[in-house]
Amino acid sequence: MKKTIFFLENRLFFRKFKIFASNERKEKTMSIHTPPIRIDTPYLPFGDMKNAPLYQKDILSVNQFHRRELEAIFAVAHEMEEMVRRIGTFDLLKGKILANLFYEPSTRTSASFTAAMERLGGSVIPINEVRYSSVSKGESLPDTVRTLEAYADVIVLRHPEVGSAALAAQYASKPVINAGDGVGEHPTQALLDLHTIREELKQVDGLTITMVGDLKYGRTVHSLARLLSRFDVRLNYVSPDILPFPEEIMAEVAAKGIPQTQYTNLEAVIGETDVLYVTRVQKERFEDPQAYERVKNAFVITPETMQQAKEEMILMHPLPRVGEISMEVDSDPRAAYFRQVEYGLYVRMALLAMVLGKA
């Protein structure tokens, strides 16, 4: 009997306690207050330099850069090189995340952005095979970037359509960096190309730059010619006649007062060239495979070609090469294309640090 009473009392107590506890919980739930997340405060994000020249900016076209900003980018890139050579990595972008979204093949651009982010202590969401992502289910570019920006601080995008990076930037509130939009532009490549020229030849004004190969579809030369038009240079365009440099870009460059000449053979200009910039014939942009076959080997740089070139000049290529420069040329000290790859790492480190407000 005593035992039963004790048991009942206990149950009663337990029930009372449960009611009390659940009331407590209800009260607590009702009193939770979630203030809105403040983005624009003087304290957050911690330590970002909001007045940095590229802070939170998209990088869509080289046309957005003036000489002053270019100087700043190359100065930071130079510091990045020193840092990498001395200590390898440091934590400038610790905790920052890059979404690397590639709808077209890439080795250098994608890997160098990854390396750049990781050398600065940040991390990367790689989406290289869009076949395996929701893009293959038919997701639109605006939806994909609005999703990725929920996870990342910056988006690098390569896409086959001209204007795709601008479209992505219109929808994303985080910075978008154009890593190649079809035959349009490749601004970070042009920046690293210009940095290479400066580091190797110590100047840009006064140089003669000769671009060779597929000047119609090659986006790297489209961006590079526009960027060089900010300097006092001469431009030569050497291409098969079915792959000429686009007239509208020539008009833009001419408006800056830059002399430009078109050729179909290299012999005419090799001797006066300070920078020989060779490009691949862009097979993937051809509708007619036979037309590609006809022009694919139109220009091949060999040791004999280099004999006609100046002693003080550089040979560049954005890579990949598929036969335009023979491998025997690689040991020529003027062959700068693998050094160019390395400069690309430093320029991309600089761009990421600057866009994220750390330089």
Any contact of residue 189 with ligand NCD (CB under 6 A)? yes
Element (H, E) at 100: strand 97-102
Tokens of 343: 């400069």
Q: How many residues bind ligand NCD (CB under 6 A)?
A: 10
- Grouping H, G, I as helix, E, B as strand and the rest as coil, residue 278 is strand
Any contact of residue 216 with ligand NCD (CB under 6 A)? no
Q: What residues numbered 57-76 form the site for ligand NCD, per CB under 6 A?
A: none
- Exposure of 144 in the CB half-sphere (CA atoms within 13 A): 26
Element (H, E) at 276: strand 275-278
Tokens of 49: 């330099």
**Conformation bin of residue 215: beta by default, left when phi > 0, alpha when psi is -120 to 50:** alpha
Any contact of residue 128 with ligand NCD (CB under 6 A)? no
Nearer to ligand NCD, 268 or 322 (CB): 322
Q: Tell me how far apart the alpha carbons of residues 343 and 226 are, in angstroms, rounded to a whole number.
A: 20
Any contact of residue 119 with ligand NCD (CB under 6 A)? no
In the complex, least distance from residue 25 CB atom to ligand NCD, rounded to whole angstroms: 57
Any contact of residue 144 with ligand NCD (CB under 6 A)? no
- Grouping H, G, I as helix, E, B as strand and the rest as coil, residue 176 is strand
In the complex, least distance from residue 95 CB atom to ligand NCD, rounded to whole angstroms: 28
Q: Which amino acid is at 267?
A: E
Q: What residues numbered 293-332 form the site for ligand NCD, per CB under 6 A?
A: 318-319
Residue of 61, 100, 109, 144 that binds ligand NCD (CB under 6 A): 109
Nearer to ligand NCD, 180 or 357 (CB): 180
Any contact of residue 236 with ligand NCD (CB under 6 A)? no
Residue of 234, 280, 348, 358 that binds ligand NCD (CB under 6 A): 280
Q: Tell me how far apart the alpha carbons of residues 194 and 209 are, in angstroms, rounded to a whole number.
A: 11
Any contact of residue 112 with ligand NCD (CB under 6 A)? no
User: Nearest-CA neighbor of 153 among 61, 34, 45?
Assistant: 45
Residues that bind ligand NCD (CB under 6 A): 108-109, 180, 186, 189, 219-220, 280, 318-319
